Structure 1
Amino acid sequence: MTDDNQSPQDALASITAARAGIVKDTRYPLSWDLGYGAICGAMVGGQALPTLWAGLVLVFAMAGLVLAIQAWRKEMGYWVNGYSPRRARWVAIGLAVLLIALMGVSLWFRFNGMHWGGLITFALGFTAAVVGGRLWMRTWKAELAEEGQ
């Protein structure tokens, strides 16, 4: 028995109901995706700028991610680390690898004096973050729903 005198079966049923509630209630507006995409796009594309500006863009993008996490926690009441669920982890890792590769392309643009190339990598990073974020959320919800059954 648990502290509140629930049977183990009742406790498991409660956990299953809570998971189902999270899956059902976790909806967020497109503005979350657009903000996340803009932050990731800036982080990636900014690396094509001259060194000082690239560093500043990176610092502000990282601060933007921290603020986005805090806003999500305040709005939703929780935060899920993107690398925690098994299958969703691979979506997050794939997105991270893609964004790092795009940062490398931005650095190539910078070192070849083509600072305008950051616009291309910004657009690609923005798109990757929006699509990757939605794919991650879909995968996470499916995995959470399967665990609750």
Structure 2
Amino acid sequence: MKPDSIILFDRLYLGSLVLGALNFIIGWSAISEKLASSPEFAATGFGSGFIIASFVIGMIINLVIWYFISARASKVAKWILVAFFALGLVSILRNLDNPLGPQGLSLGVTFVLTILQGVAIYMLFRPDAAAWFNGKPPVDPGTFS
């Protein structure tokens, strides 16, 4: 049985993935326009297929990490997620002035996603989640009443 913190992690993390997918789909036209208007990006040989493939691979990686955290109580997956989150924070800060980075509503959604994922990761460090990662079954609160 999963502790409440892991259930909340599931909801927040999966919700952030769904919101991220919607943000990608809704912002696709803006991304396409940026790619078309950026000759330096076109010169690298990466096109819209690369962007879509990167998004799909990223989603698959996120779902695999979620599975190992949520279903397998993997400490390794938890720390991989923490490392990816930290790298994502650095990337967001570095891309704030990048003309190819998210802007406007997409940037706002990116901040919301980051907050959702940060809260989700926080749930992994609460006492009931820590006990679960250590293989200890959660204590039923009804035991003490």
Q: Shorter-chain TM-score: what band?
A: 0.3 to 0.5
Give the TM-score of the pair, scaled to structure 2.
0.33
Structure number with greater Rg is 1
Give the TM-score of the pair, scaled to structure 1.
0.32
